[in-house]
Amino acid sequence: MSDSDRKGDVEPAGSAAPDDDADDLVFKALANGTRRRMLDVLKESPRTTGDLCDHFPDLDRTTVLQHLRVLERAELVIGRKVGRERHLTLAPVPIKRIHDRWIGEYARAAVSLLDDLTRG
């Protein structure tokens, strides 16, 4: 057993790659159901901040804005000031990056396994 096997998969603090930090922000943002629903609303079409708040009548404006900040930090939502309004748009690139890194690899492995089973 190598030293790295004995130590486990835990990286020392501060050694994470920049992509890992960005992915952590995306996973944190997606971990909350309200934020996922906000992304669903923005997937339909861009919205103003006020319009997005209107989609969540059970939440006060401050709470919606706090969730929105988490989504913007993760670069899942882009806000653009137009006059007195802020227009919000879904930014799908971080989700695609997660898909390519994690889901795509597992899907390829599963397809390969199924192919091996059908041949064997």
Mark 10-28 as b/e (b = at least 16 C-beta within 10 Å): eeeeeeeeeeeebbebbee
Query: Edge-to-edge strands of the sheet including 85-90?
Result: 47-48, 85-90, 77-82
**Domains in the chain, CATH or no CATH each:** 18-91 (1.10.10.10)
> pLDDT, tens digit, for every residue of 6-52?
444 444 445 556 678 888 999 999 999 999 999 999 999 999 999 99
DSSP 69-95: HHHHHTTSEEEEEETTEEEEEE--HHH
**Cα distance between residue 8 and residue 53, in whole Å:** 44
Residue with more model confidence, 5 or 20: 20
CB 102 within 8 A of CB 30: no
For the chain, counts of helices (H) and of strands (E): 7, 3
Q: Which residue, chain included where needed, has tokens 């943002």?
A: 29
Maximal C-alpha separation, the chain: 65
User: What is the distance of C-alpha 49 from the center of its chain?
Assistant: 19
Least confident of 1-5, 17-21, 53-57, 58-62: 1-5
> pLDDT, tens digit, for every residue of 96-115?
888 888 787 777 777 778 87
- The pLDDT value given to residue 58: 97
* pTM beyond 0.85, yes or no: no
